[in-house]
Amino acid sequence: MKHIYLNLKRFDVPASMGGVNRICDVKDWGGYIVKNTQEALKAYDPKAVEFAMYFPEAHILSAAAAKDEDSPVQVGCQGVFREDVTVGGNFGAFTTNRPAAAMAALGCESVIIGHCEERNDKGGILAEAGVTDTAAVNRLLNREIRAALSQGLKVLYCIGEKSEEQEKWQEVLGAQLDIGLEGVDRSKVVIAYEPVWSIGPGKTPAGKDYITKIATFVKEHTGGMDIVYGGGLKQDNAAMLASIKEIDGGLIALTRFSGEIGYYPQEYLEIIRLYMEG
């Protein structure tokens, strides 16, 4: 099974306000993306590939409402809180947070957890509190994964090493896997590998040999879990990633990196075509 994920981050913010959204009015954005991709995605065998899109919370309802009855799109959210609504217990005291029950009720089927941006945020908060235990973030993410799975959500769990961690990448990634997946039903989880050290302007992207090395390690370490490339599936690397037998898909974000940068549905579909035909 191949997995194609789309992390829409905050691409809903209009260009006039400093964002990259030039495709439609923000109130229509979630539904617009589903409506302009789901028909084309029906051309792919659902037994061979699945598609999940991670929307900012404000757009989940319109995205879910735009799905056809036979839509191949799984609507997802960008994280869940580590605690959840419980029968006879906490029924809603979660101001600012996203309990998994609420996300499932909105129509989510999947969630992305542990993205490097989330890891950085949690690590920064812990550092402000004087916490130096590097495993703390992984423990918090494990609780998020458990909460998501308990509500029937599939999970894309992101792992990756920073520049200063490259020399001990096996230790770093191993801990992220061991702690993050402790006590978890792994059949409902896919791993996304983010080479954090290579992501961003002016940095050299991870090459085929390096990605293959990491994917092989992850599969051996986890007993064969599916792993996708989380460093950005793009038009210019789709064929290369498709040639790596250890990689089971990819995570798309921006589709255009020059000119009017941003996410564009037709370019998203082209990236998928290049990967699936690669």
Grouping H, G, I as helix, E, B as strand and the rest as coil, residue 121 is: helix
Active-site option among 50, 59, 115, 118: 115
- If we measure between CA atoms, which residue out of 50, 53, 42 comes closest to residue 11? 53
259 exposure class (CB count in 10 Å sphere: 0-12, 13-18, 19+):
exposed
Q: From the CB of residue 109, how many other CB atoms can be counted at a distance below 10 Å? A: 17
- Strand (E) or helix (H) holding 157: strand 154-159
- If we measure between CA atoms, which residue out of 169, 119, 113 comes closest to residue 146? 113
130 exposure class (CB count in 10 Å sphere: 0-12, 13-18, 19+):
exposed
Look at strands 2-7 and 49-55 and give their pairing.
parallel
- Quote the CA–CA distance of 20 and 64 in Å, as a whole number: 22
DSSP symbols for 68-105: -TT--EEEEES---SS---TTS-SS--TT---HHHHHH
Q: From the CB of residue 152, how many other CB atoms can be counted at a distance below 10 Å? A: 11
Residue 209 pairs in a beta bridge with: none
115 included as an active-site residue: yes
DSSP 141: H
59 included as an active-site residue: no
Check if the beta carbon of residue 33 is closer than 8 Å to that of residue 8: yes
Token readout for 151 is 């509500």
Q: Which residues are identified as catalytic?
A: 115, 194
